């Protein structure tokens, strides 16, 4: 398999490989770039410590330690070195500086060329390590069925996600329907196709009574939910499509990508749409009840649900609850 042709495989496959080989005690990496220079022949370094890889947030690995090194370092996984671009994206500025401060490095399946925009000229301390490509190919062959299922189905069990409704869910403009009518939504940036799959449940939450900053400060300061925070609606939906890129979705629906506005709050700045991904859903049920969130937080059966609602509201991210949490919630609200 040529080193530059990895686009058909998701990076989760590399995560699986790293985890499996580490558990076997055979995971090795080779330094390809050090001190801003491409190196010649270097020795393989065995990995002696690896934190769990649980999401795709930058950096992918919070801590990894090589034999002979005394500290755990963060690492970002890419198929090729040129794909690393966090150094010039403003939204990652703080995380990237922390990455540098903690001596972070890049792990790749195959090195192609140095990242654009002067990464190693400005930050020569960033090392690049390569995995054992022949061993990686063997791993893919050995686990072909499992990896294929993961690529196509994402997961075999239904998962339950909490997303906050927001204005686009309930408000339309001209011929643009709100999401509860158009049945399309943009996933938050922390959700990938490996997280959200066809058949999953999404709880679109609506609340009122308090702003997110005030609510966030109350729980962090006093350890309790503010009494003003009221749950007003849960729209229970089922995911009916994979996550499309916006271009894929427009092609699928025969829309003009350049002109098709999908939601009321969906700006197009210099040809770039504000929301770049889309998934489709159907509505299963709508629960309209005004319930104090503190009461849900106080009950052991619904504590985790209310906590995940708090995080989704305050941080603008999707959050997952277990099937048990979901059943407890439905039983308490509907039965």
Tell me the per-residue pLDDT of 285-304, one tens digit each, with 9 for 90 and over. Answer: 999 989 998 899 889 999 99
Average pLDDT, the chain: 85
The token duo for 24 is 């076997």
Q: What is d(CA 242, CA 252) in angstroms, rounded to the nearest whole number?
A: 12
CA 179 centroid distance within chain: 22
**Which pLDDT does position 316 carry in this prediction?**
83
To which residue do tokens 């989704």 refer? 312
Q: Which domains does the chain have, with CATH numbers?
A: 12-152 (no CATH), 154-334 (3.10.590.10)
**Which pLDDT does position 150 carry in this prediction?**
53
Q: Residues 84-132: pLDDT tens digits?
A: 888 777 778 889 999 999 999 999 988 877 776 677 778 888 899 999 9
**Which pLDDT does position 5 carry in this prediction?**
43
User: For residue 7, is pLDDT > 50?
Assistant: no
Q: What is d(CA 330, CA 287) in angstroms, rounded to the nearest whole number?
A: 9
Mean pLDDT for the stretch of residues 14-27:
88
**Which pLDDT does position 183 carry in this prediction?**
96
**Which pLDDT does position 334 carry in this prediction?**
73
CA torsion through residues 309, 314, 320, 322, sign: negative
Q: Out of 31-35, 89-93, 244-248, which region has the weakest mean confidence (pLDDT)?
A: 89-93
User: For residue 55, is pLDDT > 60?
Assistant: yes
- Top pLDDT among 221 and 322 is at 322
**Which pLDDT does position 8 carry in this prediction?**
40
The token duo for 99 is 């990455």
Three-state helix/strand/coil letters over the chain: CCCCCCCCCCCHHHHHHHHHHHHHCCCEEEEEEECCEECCCCCEEEEEEECCCCCCCCCCEEEEEECCCCCCEEEEEEEEHHHCCCCCCHHHHHHHHHHHHCCCEEEEEECCCCCCCCHHHHCCCCEEEEECHHHHHHHHHHCHHHHHHHHHHCCCCCCEEEEECCHHHHCCECCECCHHHHCEECCCCCCCCCCCCCCCEEEEEEEECCCHHHHHHHHHHHCCCCCCCEEEEEEEEEECCCCEEHHHHHHHHCCCCCCCCCCCCCCEECCEECCCEEEEEEEEEEECCCEEHHHHHHCCCCHHHHHHHHHHHHHCCCEEECHHHHHHHHHHHHC
């Amino acid at each position: 398999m040529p080193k530059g042709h990895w686009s058909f495989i998701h990076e989760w496959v590399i995560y699986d490989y790293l985890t499996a080989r580490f558990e076997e005690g055979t995971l090795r990496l080779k330094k390809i770039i050090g001190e801003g220079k491409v190196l010649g022949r270097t020795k393989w370094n065995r990995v002696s410590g690896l934190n769990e890889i649980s999401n795709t947030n930058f950096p992918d690995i919070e801590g990894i330690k090589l034999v002979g090194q005394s500290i755990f370092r963060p690492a970002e996984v890419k198929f090729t070195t040129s794909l690393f671009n966090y150094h010039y994206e403003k939204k990652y500025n703080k995380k990237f500086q922390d990455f540098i401060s903690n001596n972070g490095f890049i792990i790749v399946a195959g090195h192609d060329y140095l990242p654009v925009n002067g990464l190693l000229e400005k930050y020569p301390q960033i090392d690049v390590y390569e995995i054992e490509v022949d061993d990686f190919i063997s791993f893919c062959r050995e686990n072909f069925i499992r990896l294929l299922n993961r690529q196509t189905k994402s997961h075999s069990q239904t998962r339950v996600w909490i997303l906050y409704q927001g204005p686009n869910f309930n408000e339309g403009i001209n011929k643009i329907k709100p999401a509860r009518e158009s049945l399309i939504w943009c996933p938050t940036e922390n959700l990938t196709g490996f997280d959200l799959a066809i058949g999953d449940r999404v709880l679109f939450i609506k609340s009122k009574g308090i702003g997110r900053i005030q609510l966030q400060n109350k729980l962090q300061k006093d350890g309790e939910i503010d009494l003003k925070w009221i749950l007003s609606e849960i729209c229970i939906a089922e995911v009916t499509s994979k996550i499309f890129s916006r271009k894929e979705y427009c092609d699928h629906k025969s829309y003009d990508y350049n002109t098709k506005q999908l939601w009321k709050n969906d700006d197009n700045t210099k040809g770039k749409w504000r929301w770049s991904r889309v998934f489709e859903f159907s509505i299963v049920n709508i629960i309209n009840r005004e319930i104090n969130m503190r009461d849900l937080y106080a009950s052991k059966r619904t504590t985790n649900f209310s906590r995940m609602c708090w995080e989704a509201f305050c941080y603008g991210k999707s959050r997952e609850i277990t099937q048990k949490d979901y059943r407890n919630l439905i039983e308490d609200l509907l039965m």
